Structure 1
Amino acid sequence: MWTDTRPPAEMPKLFERGTDVISLAGGLPDLDVLPLAEISAQLAGLVRLGGKLALQYTTPHVAKALVPAVADLMAREDGHADAGNLIPTSGSQMGLTAVALALGSPGDTILVQTPAYPGATAAFRTAGLLPHAAAEDADGLDPQQLRRDVAALRAAGHTVRLLYTNPTFQNPTGATLAVPRRTEILAACRELDLLLVEDNPYGLLGFDGTTTTLFQALDPQQVVYLGTFSKIFAPGLRSGWIAAPEHLRYDLARVAEIISLSPSALAQGALAAHYARSGWTDLIDRYRDSYRERCALMADALDAELGADGPWQWQRPDGGFYLWLRHRDRADAGPYALAAAARGVSVVPGGHFSIDGEHADGLRLCFSNVPRKKITEGIGRLAAALTETPSAQREPSEVAG
């Protein structure tokens, strides 16, 4: 069931680049940190010694050799990886689609933390689900309002079974839900019989190495956990996993197998070989160092160009890929994004992350893949666009003149 073509039509444009465009748009990792010679040798060995297996169809399970690598990653955030409940995916995006198809029914309402990753809302709508923005307060998702909203939706005849969250270094805001708030949200979910979907691509990318206990660690049977190797290894392998509650494992695995038939044995083998040889710590530390430096360069440039008293507000994140700007007067950021594009810098306007236009005053800036020497220039171009009145907001006489 295809119900909304807008998000998938826009998503690929995040990764397009022009000759003189400084892209602050797409959330690409910094693959300069990868040990490519080592990975190349490992891939060559896999193909030379086991190519007939690595290049063949395989069973729809996380490979036995890869399970310790997944368990290590989840344990760093206190999570639990039971080999019997791990389901392979082609990254979190496939996991989101599998969750929506397996656990929802067309016409169901799914509560969504907003501003929301647009790939998630696209997956939900594609499965026929109806995203509904979950209420927030100053500390993030609001468990008391969650109770009231679910009661009101159900009283109005809506079926509500799922709550989706990207709780750590969220895309697009960079915000993280504190553990006490996570505990409160889970208590509300148990009361309301809501299953929580935890999408966690960025949790290990805290700049100082700090991690936050997963929702899944706090209640494995109430949480469907989506993990991916895209941000801590490389997205080109298209490899991730679902850590499923035991009672949902069959339903999720069945749908995942229908979608992909077979996970990539070559990708899983490459990841397992890297882990067996090198572990995760050195590579994750290199990613953290890269993103900490880039984020500091971008935030410093924003401070210098826009100052603290202007119309744009932001907070320095503690990890992840993104900075989130909002207009103090809640002006539509779309025309500002167009003005920035005209100056050769691409950003993503907040409407892209909305359910019903509620975050149109925001702009997402991604620092993870911008060349260091281009960050200050890119923010300079952006600031020039943000400090003028975009043509779409000028008075008609000004446009005519």
Structure 2
Amino acid sequence: MAMWTDLRPTVEMPRLFERGGDVISFAGGLPDLDVLPLETISGQLSRLVRLGGKLALQYTTPHVAKALIPAINDLMGREGSATTADHLVPTQGSQMGLMAVGLGIATPGETVLVQTPAYPGAAAAFRIAGLALHPAPEDADGLAPAALRETVLRLRADGRTVRLLYCNPTFQNPTGATLSVARRRELLAVARELDLLIIEDNPYGLLSFDGGTTTALHALDPERVIYLGTFSKVFAPGLRCGWIAAPEQLAPHLRRTTEVMSLSPSALAQAALAAFHTRAGWGDLLAAYRASYQERCALMADALDAELGTDGPWQWERPRGGFYIWLRHREGVDTVRFAEAAAEHGVSYVPGSHFGLDGEHADGLRLCFSNVPRKRIAEGVSRLAAALTAPVPSLRGAA
């Protein structure tokens, strides 16, 4: 007899956070927690538990705590957006938000359009929710509105339900690309025309190296956009705290779904973040994160220039923010072929096939610079270059 697990698609996430031996990891997107003022946070947590522990350590309602809303609006306001309690749903980070949208808004079997190369966690969440995935069309400037219209109309003519578009428009994971404001406006115009909801996943939007921001899709049309926010990249992932800012009519559905998933958000995490923001704001911490990532990115990009050059088989662009550099092989070679050699040289990366929906983007690889010790970045790139410039190995099992 078939088990329910046999009927669902196989979903596998890349192993991002494993470490060992002398391996220099360019794989997982970990923030640089060296910038956190741990002594200050420790004092605030101690006071919070001492004075309000019976509330902070108890179950709570499936709502964003009132004290946390100003902290959320401070972050969202930097990209031109704002929200209220009626629109907010608490999550344990954007990953839970993706699952909540897939389970609470979509219908099993419907198609969600996905910006690719895609964050693997989004593809996994939507697949577990029973959705079909289809790549959203792009051109050299990113998501292509006219082609999107054609794609949606074609899919609907084929009898498929298409209501959702997922994107990571600012310092995208894995490419680091940002969609222009003009293109965002065009995209929203097509979404209104076709009655599409846009899922805006925005972990990196405030991590530009120069401190600049790009107007969020949510700011341009809050009734057309389901915004996924998280404190994981602007504070720390260990608190597992984030939020969804949704159109008011959708928020109750999402709130009920998250309640089933987790029963209760962490009152302690929400209170800790609210207390930090009340006393310190976000400005200094964001500036410290930006400076750290700007320095690490420059070290990695300079090392790539030195080790791989600009006229060889590998091409990349320097990002202006975020965590990642995206390399592509000009001849389309599957980068899984280099993974074993990289491991033998003591360095790790995420092959591009993890970011495709059906094997596409296999010629890419993602390097994360955000958490690598500064003194080891050049050494790691040297090890990587040794693996990438060796004769192209055959895939195991290939003829």
2:150 match: secondary structure = helix
Do the aligned residues in 1 keep the contact of 2:11 with 2:128 (CA within 8 Å)? no
Do the aligned residues in 2 keep the contact of 1:339 with 1:390 (CA within 8 Å)? no
| CA displacement at 1:390 relative to structure 2 | 3.2
- 1:264 correspondence with 2:266: yes
- 1:4 correspondence with 2:9: yes
- Partners of 2:44 and 2:259 in 1: CA distance: 27
- 1:186 correspondence with 2:188: yes
Do the aligned residues in 2 keep the contact of 1:312 with 1:325 (CA within 8 Å)? yes
- 1:301 correspondence with 2:303: yes
Do the aligned residues in 2 keep the contact of 1:224 with 1:242 (CA within 8 Å)? yes
1:26 matched residue in structure 2: 28
| CA displacement at 1:19 relative to structure 2 | 1.4
Stretches of 4+ moved more than 2 A in 1?
A: 1-7
1:287 match: secondary structure = helix
Could you tell me which of 385, 389, 392 is aligned with 2:391?
389
- Partners of 1:353 and 1:310 in 2: CA distance: 23
1:332 matched residue in structure 2: 334
1:281 matched residue in structure 2: 283
| CA displacement at 1:247 relative to structure 2 | 1.6
1:240 matched residue in structure 2: 242
| CA displacement at 1:188 relative to structure 2 | 0.6
1:110 matched residue in structure 2: 112
- Partners of 1:147 and 1:155 in 2: CA distance: 12
Do the aligned residues in 2 keep the contact of 1:4 with 1:122 (CA within 8 Å)? no
Could you tell me which of 217, 226, 241 is aligned with 2:219?
217
Extract unaligned runs of 5+ from structure 1. none
Could you tell me which of 156, 160, 167 is aligned with 1:154?
156
1:301 match: secondary structure = helix
Could you tell me which of 153, 158, 171 is aligned with 1:169?
171
1:379 match: secondary structure = helix
Do the aligned residues in 2 keep the contact of 1:43 with 1:270 (CA within 8 Å)? yes
1:80 match: secondary structure = coil
Letter in structure 2 aligned against 1:280: W
2:49 matched residue in structure 1: 47
| CA displacement at 1:393 relative to structure 2 | 5.9
- Partners of 1:37 and 1:281 in 2: CA distance: 18
| CA displacement at 1:90 relative to structure 2 | 0.3
Could you tell me which of 12, 17, 20 is aligned with 2:19?
17
2:102 matched residue in structure 1: 100
Do the aligned residues in 2 keep the contact of 1:30 with 1:368 (CA within 8 Å)? yes
- Partners of 2:28 and 2:389 in 1: CA distance: 23
- Partners of 2:347 and 2:361 in 1: CA distance: 21
Letter in structure 2 aligned against 1:159: T
What's the CA shift string for 1:68-126, capped at 9, x where partnerless? 00010000000111122111000000000000111111110000000000000000000
- Partners of 1:296 and 1:6 in 2: CA distance: 34
Do the aligned residues in 1 keep the contact of 2:156 with 2:162 (CA within 8 Å)? yes
Could you tell me which of 354, 357, 364 is aligned with 1:355?
357
Letter in structure 2 aligned against 1:270: A
| CA displacement at 1:249 relative to structure 2 | 1.3
What's the CA shift string for 1:265-317, capped at 9, x where partnerless? 00001000100110000000000000000000000000000001000000000
Do the aligned residues in 1 keep the contact of 2:91 with 2:241 (CA within 8 Å)? yes
Letter in structure 2 aligned against 1:31: L
| CA displacement at 1:376 relative to structure 2 | 0.3
- 1:145 correspondence with 2:150: no
- Partners of 2:147 and 2:335 in 1: CA distance: 28
- Partners of 2:157 and 2:106 in 1: CA distance: 19
What's the CA shift string for 1:12-66, capped at 9, x where partnerless? x210001110000000000000000010111111111111100000111111111
1:76 matched residue in structure 2: 78
1:376 matched residue in structure 2: 378
Q: Give identity over the alignment, percent.
A: 69
What's the CA shift string for 1:232-266, capped at 9, x where partnerless? 00000000000010121111111111111111000
2:252 matched residue in structure 1: 250
| CA displacement at 1:6 relative to structure 2 | 3.2
TM-score by length of 1: 0.96
Letter in structure 2 aligned against 1:135: P
Letter in structure 1 aligned against 2:79: E
What's the CA shift string for 1:141-173, capped at 9, x where partnerless? 011110111111111111101000000000000
Letter in structure 1 aligned against 2:254: L
- Check 1:304–1:154 CA distance in 2 against 1; reply closer, same or farther (3 A cut): same
Do the aligned residues in 2 keep the contact of 1:337 with 1:349 (CA within 8 Å)? yes
1:364 match: secondary structure = strand
Aligned length, in residue pairs: 394
Extract unaligned runs of 5+ from structure 2. none
Could you tell me which of 57, 66, 69 is aligned with 1:67?
69
- Partners of 1:6 and 1:240 in 2: CA distance: 23
Do the aligned residues in 2 keep the contact of 1:55 with 1:265 (CA within 8 Å)? yes
- Partners of 1:96 and 1:71 in 2: CA distance: 21
